[in-house]
């Protein structure tokens, strides 16, 4: 009889330990260990899952000379969405396991139901542990499309889902969500790390053995990580992350791991009354806010973690009503803002000491990347002179205490992200080694500035 025992698992990286620890020895995170029941009998499959080996038992792979391996896109299946096909590197690969993560309400279920409805040639099994088939039908009616070849299964048992998939042999299996399904092999309840790992390993084995691509939907924790997660990131072939504010219409689907393509791609969607709409020109995301040229806003190309993206910084500079001017910042360090104001005053001669200055980072974001400095300086000057900054301009540079504009890391990625989002011109440091002598990268015109006065001249000429 299998014996129950408990172990401690790190919720951040999945590391297992026989006893509680304040800090996870594997990833160094604090207070992330939780106790979970493990069944001794499931050790084998767990080991298989964590090592990723032994999963292809029964498959008859033979070594091939590297030179003989064909590069044709033979095993690629189109998902009917141009954007997601591009994100995956030209369609989904046979037998691959894809994880789509995102916060609740962001549109994961909508997207994964839209795929079969818009790709009627693809027979799909959509297994949901979250919604009943009736609820899914109602959503499907709203989304429109072709309902012929899409099968719905309201089920949470991994074994049953796989048994049904084997019977139906679909061209694509979607599991919504990995946190609601459970396998008999693990004794703990759904959503625990052991369950997520065991279940994902089962789906991986099914995908590899049958050649059917499997899409797993995963929820995200508060701090933006896939819940249960790092372990899943190792197992799956592709990780797509849905980002954005569920209160706003625009969503970004970002590839953060892809064994079959590039990870620097993003796809932009708009949530409408009839589901998600692909936004092929993402710059339209920022354009509605710039119907007319407004002063006091500038866009920064920042990198958060490993991801480049663009944020709008807003400043309001007005004559102080009281003796001591007010300074306040939302989403940005107020001390750094004061430093920037002092630099603008002392090094570039702008008279800001007697002005109230309010700063805001749009979208409720909190930014710590020093590359935001240049956009903030531009927004402050723009508001001060009441001269708008063109909505086609982006900024990426750190400002030093002597007013010089310092180069920032990964400038190429920032420029290409700005280019992808429809900007035409970016202000950067002239001291950047990577950009020596280059004034154009792709569609972007690169404006190199040595110091604040220089930028101001080039910006408001
Ligand atoms: P959903 O796909 O259920 O999110 P997730 O699976 O990531 O939790 O999306 C839910 C939100 O999308 C919900 O707030 C309603 C909205 N929505 C629309 O605006 N239009 C639509 O056509 C659909 C289906 C959903
Ligand atoms: Mg859902």
Ligand 2 midpoint to CA 206 (Å): 23
Q: How far apart are CA 414 and CA 432, in angstroms?
A: 13
Residue in 232, 220, 242 with CA at minimum distance from that of residue 111: 242
The pLDDT value recorded for residue 136 is 92
* CATH number for the domain harbouring residue 332: 3.30.230.10
**Residue 212 shares a structural domain with residue 350:** no
Ligand 2 midpoint to CA 254 (Å): 18
**Residue 298 shares a structural domain with residue 217:** no
The pLDDT value recorded for residue 124 is 93
Burial class (CB in 10 A: 0-12, 13-18, 19+), 438: exposed
Is 52 part of a structural domain of the chain? no
Report whether 423 contacts 283 (CB < 8 A).
yes
Ligand 2 midpoint to CA 453 (Å): 51
**Residue 20 shares a structural domain with residue 121:** no
**Residue 149 shares a structural domain with residue 259:** yes
Is 13 part of a structural domain of the chain? yes
Take atom 12 of ligand 1 and give the residue whose Cα is closest.
Answer: 107
Mention every residue, 6+ apart, whose C-beta is less than 8 A from residue 303. 309, 369, 371, 409, 410, 413, 414
Q: How far apart are CA 37 and CA 192, in angstroms?
A: 9
Among 251, 280, 309, residue at a domain's last position: 280
Domain count, the chain: 3
Instruction: State which residues form the domain around 428.
Output: 284-459
* CATH number for the domain harbouring residue 190: 3.40.50.300
Residue ranges of the chain with pLDDT lower than 50?
Answer: 41-59, 287
Q: How far is CA 174 from CA 50, 99, 133, 153, 162, in A?
A: 22, 10, 14, 10, 11
Is 413 part of a structural domain of the chain? yes
**Residue 105 shares a structural domain with residue 140:** yes
Is 259 part of a structural domain of the chain? yes
Q: How many residues does the chain have?
A: 461
Ligand 1 midpoint to CA 102 (Å): 12
Ligand 2 midpoint to CA 218 (Å): 9
The closest-lying atom of ligand 1 relative to the alpha carbon of residue 177 is 6
**Residue 237 shares a structural domain with residue 330:** no
| Residue 220 CB–ligand 1 contact under 6 Å | no
**Residue 312 shares a structural domain with residue 271:** no
The pLDDT value recorded for residue 316 is 95
The pLDDT value recorded for residue 50 is 45
**Residue 102 shares a structural domain with residue 9:** no
| Residue 305 CB–ligand 1 contact under 6 Å | no
The pLDDT value recorded for residue 285 is 58
Among 280, 302, 325, residue at a domain's last position: 280
**Residue 24 shares a structural domain with residue 162:** no
Which residues have their alpha-adjacent CB atom under 5 A from ion ligand 2? 109
Ligand 2 midpoint to CA 17 (Å): 32
The pLDDT value recorded for residue 229 is 57
The closest-lying atom of ligand 1 relative to the alpha carbon of residue 104 is 8
Is 316 part of a structural domain of the chain? yes
Is 65 part of a structural domain of the chain? no
Is 70 part of a structural domain of the chain? no
Is 261 part of a structural domain of the chain? yes
| Residue 271 CB–ligand 1 contact under 6 Å | yes
* pLDDT tens digits, 144-162: 887 888 999 999 999 999 9
| Residue 139 CB–ligand 1 contact under 6 Å | yes
In this structure, the dihedral spanned by the alpha carbons of residues 326, 331, 332 and 338, taken in order and rounded to 10 degrees, is 0
**Residue 269 shares a structural domain with residue 334:** no
**Residue 296 shares a structural domain with residue 198:** no
Q: Which two tokens stand for residue 299?
A: 């866009």
**Residue 275 shares a structural domain with residue 167:** yes
Q: Which two tokens stand for residue 215?
A: 């899409």
């Amino acid at each position: 009889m299998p014996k129950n025992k408990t172990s401690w698992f790190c919720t951040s990286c999945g590391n297992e330990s026989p006893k509680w620890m304040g800090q996870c020895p594997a990833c160094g995170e604090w207070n992330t260990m939780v106790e979970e029941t493990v069944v001794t009998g499931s050790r084998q499959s767990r080991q298989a899952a964590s090592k990723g080996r032994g999963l292809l038992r029964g498959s008859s792979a033979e070594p091939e000379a590297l030179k003989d391996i064909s590069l044709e896109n033979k095993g690629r299946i189109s998902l009917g969405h141009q954007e997601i096909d591009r994100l995956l590197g030209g369609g989904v690969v046979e037998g691959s396991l894809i994880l789509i993560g995102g916060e609740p309400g962001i549109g994961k279920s909508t997207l994964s139901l839209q795929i079969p409805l818009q790709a009627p040639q693809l027979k799909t099994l959509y297994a949901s542990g979250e919604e009943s088939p009736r609820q899914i039908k109602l959503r499907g009616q709203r989304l429109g499309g072709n309902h012929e070849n899409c099968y719905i299964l309201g089920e949470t048992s991994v074994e049953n889902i796989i048994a049904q998939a084997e019977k139906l042999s679909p061209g694509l299996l979607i599991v919504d969500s990995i946190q609601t399904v459970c396998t008999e092999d693990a004794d703990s309840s759904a959503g625990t790390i052991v369950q997520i790992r065991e279940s994902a390993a089962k789906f991986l084995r099914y995908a590899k053995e049958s050649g059917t691509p499997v899409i797993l939907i995963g929820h995200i924790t508060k701090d933006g990580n896939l819940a249960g997660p790092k372990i899943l990131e190792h197992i799956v072939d592709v990780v797509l992350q849905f980002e954005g504010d569920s209160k706003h219409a625009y969503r970004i689907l970002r590839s953060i791991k892809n064994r079959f393509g590039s990870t620097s791609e993003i796809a932009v969607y708009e949530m409408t009354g009839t589901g998600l709409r692909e936004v092929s020109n993402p710059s339209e995301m920022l354009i509605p806010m710039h119907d007319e040229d407004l002063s006091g806003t500038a866009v920064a190309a920042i990198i958060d973690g490993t991801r480049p993206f663009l944020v709008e910084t807003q400043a309001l500079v007005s004559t102080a009503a009281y003796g001591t001017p007010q300074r306040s910042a939302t989403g940005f360090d107020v001390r750094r803002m004061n430093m920037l104001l002092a630099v603008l005053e002392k090094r570039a001669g702008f008279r800001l000491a007697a002005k109230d200055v309010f700063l805001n980072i749009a979208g409720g974001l909190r930014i710590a990347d020093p590359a935001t400095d240049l956009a903030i300086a531009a927004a402050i000057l723009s508001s001060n002179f009441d001269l708008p900054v063109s909505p086609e301009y982006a900024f990426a540079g750190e400002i030093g205490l002597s007013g010089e504009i310092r180069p920032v890391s990964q400038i190429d990625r920032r420029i290409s992200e700005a280019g992808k989002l429809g900007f035409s011109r970016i202000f950067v440091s002239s001291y950047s080694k990577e950009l020596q002598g280059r004034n154009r990268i792709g569609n972007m015109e690169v404006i190199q500035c040595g110091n604040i006065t220089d930028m101001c001249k080039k910006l408001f000429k």
